[in-house]
Amino acid sequence: MNRVAKLFFVIFLSAAVYTQAFAFLASSEKYNYSIDFPEGFEIAEMEEDESSILFACKYLEAKTLIRVWEKDKFKNSDEAMKHTMTRLEADASYQGTTWRKQEASIAMFSSPLLLAGEMASGWGFTVALPLQKGYLTILSYTKKELSDDLMQVLVSVLDSVMIDDGSFKEPGIITSTYFPREKEKSVSLKIGGKTVRTKIDEIDAEANQFVIDREFSVFKFYVDNNLPEVYDAWVRFYRIIGKDATLRLKKVSFDIYSALRSDSNKKDSSNPNAALAQTLLNWVQEFSYERASTSPDKADITDILSTLTGKSSDCDARSLLLAVLYKNLGIESCMFISSEYSHAMVGAFLEGKQGQTISVDGRDFLVGETTAKGLTFGLMDSTMQDRKKWITVEIY
């Protein structure tokens, strides 16, 4: 599982060392952007001034070209994108958008200059980088005849770009543009004997399902081809879904905290977050159980927003929902998955609490069983206690 790291590229290993899971994030220190690539992408070419980098996937005929333009070269992102397309002699259509409070331009294009002797087709975007660092253009493409087959991979790359701290915790530019916020709807949650009134957007569930379907298509390639990074791809599948859901659940998390804060303090004044985490764990244990799919061609996970509002779900949807809520509430959390046990659990770092744990980056995270009613943190099925068979999923 080697990945090339040249010059400015810093490769971060996740904290999942003790459960055999590794996540790779390519980040530019100079320009302050990051990309959570699907597995197998490596640097093929790079300019010494870091302004141009080409990534190529060793498993798929997919490439990603990154170009950073000086801020004063263009008036806006649309001009920078159209300049790029002109230089590439590309036939392109454009979509203006705003992402992370920065104006941006998305393009669908075909170009005869990106691949030697062949027509390339793909998606790209240009966005103004924060702190006046310039314009970031990213093109994700393949051979034109493969563009339909690899569309999900190409879009996944673009949607996995982060340009500041906040973009690690919200939908990517493609999902944000094509599933814009529409209208808030009221949601009432029964948690720990309290009624929590909150709101989500009407588009949230559909948008999160779009991310699930897209990322499952990407993950399935690694499964079908029995690639060595299949477990890394599995982790990324959940991580990207969680990233998409984090901002969508921000207000929900705040409203839960406001409604349950007093009771949590009464239950455990020395560690009210632990009491709150337990209340939420018992809440999801009461959800109706149902698998989202039994087909190998469809993702077996309910979207996170529908899980929140009561749609039948199973262990992975509930564990990911809790991990995101805990993150928003300031409780360190993760998700544990196991192919051998065909199961998932939530993990939380609850200092001072005892029970069954899995070590993450040298710290013990208590496990939480989401499908057995009435269980507390730290209880684990006696037939599922081999730590080597659990993989850690950390969300941003």
pLDDT by residue for the chain (396 residues), tens only, comes to 223 333 333 333 332 221 223 346 899 999 999 999 999 999 999 998 889 999 999 999 999 999 999 999 999 999 999 999 999 999 999 999 999 999 999 999 999 999 999 999 999 999 999 988 999 999 999 999 999 999 999 999 999 999 999 999 999 999 999 999 999 999 999 999 999 999 999 999 999 999 999 999 999 999 999 999 999 999 999 999 999 999 999 999 999 999 999 999 999 999 999 999 999 999 999 999 888 777 888 888 999 999 999 998 899 999 999 999 999 999 999 999 999 999 999 999 999 999 999 999 999 999 999 999 999 999 999 999 999 999 999 999
Strand, helix or coil for residue 82: helix
Residue 379 tokens, joined: 């209880």
Residues pairing with 33 in the sheet: 28
- Rounded Cα distance, 52 and 353, in Å: 49
Give the pLDDT of residue 17. 25
Strand, helix or coil for residue 196: strand
Dihedral, 378, 384, 292, 360 alpha carbons, nearest 10 = 60
Give the pLDDT of residue 293. 72
Q: Shortest CA distance to 85 belongs to which of 105, 104, 71, 100?
A: 105
Q: Residue 322 in contact with residue 238, Cβ under 8 Å? A: no
Q: Shortest CA distance to 193 belongs to which of 274, 280, 268?
A: 280
Give the pLDDT of residue 22. 35
- Rounded Cα distance, 270 and 288, in Å: 33
Residue 277 tokens, joined: 């985490």
Cα radius of gyration rounded to whole Å, the chain: 22
CA distances from 363 to 15, 104, 347 (A): 10, 40, 11
Residue 143 tokens, joined: 């051979």
Phi-psi category of residue 100: left, alpha or beta, with phi > 0 → left and psi -120 to 50 → alpha: left
Q: Residue 245 in contact with residue 341, Cβ under 8 Å? A: no
Give the pLDDT of residue 19. 26
Three-state DSSP string of 335-349:
EEEECCCCEEEEEEC
Give the pLDDT of residue 154. 98
Residues in the chain: 396
Residues pairing with 65 in the sheet: 54, 139
- Rounded Cα distance, 172 and 177, in Å: 9
Give the pLDDT of residue 8. 34
Sign of CA dihedral 141, 31, 173, 336: positive
Give the pLDDT of residue 24. 63
Burial status of residue 295 (CB atoms within 10 A of its CB: 0-12, 13-18, 19 or more):
exposed
Q: Shortest CA distance to 35 belongs to which of 134, 172, 198, 228?
A: 172
Q: How much is the pTM?
A: 0.92
| Torsions phi, psi for 142 (to 5 deg) | -155, -175
Q: Residue 263 in contact with residue 284, Cβ under 8 Å? A: no
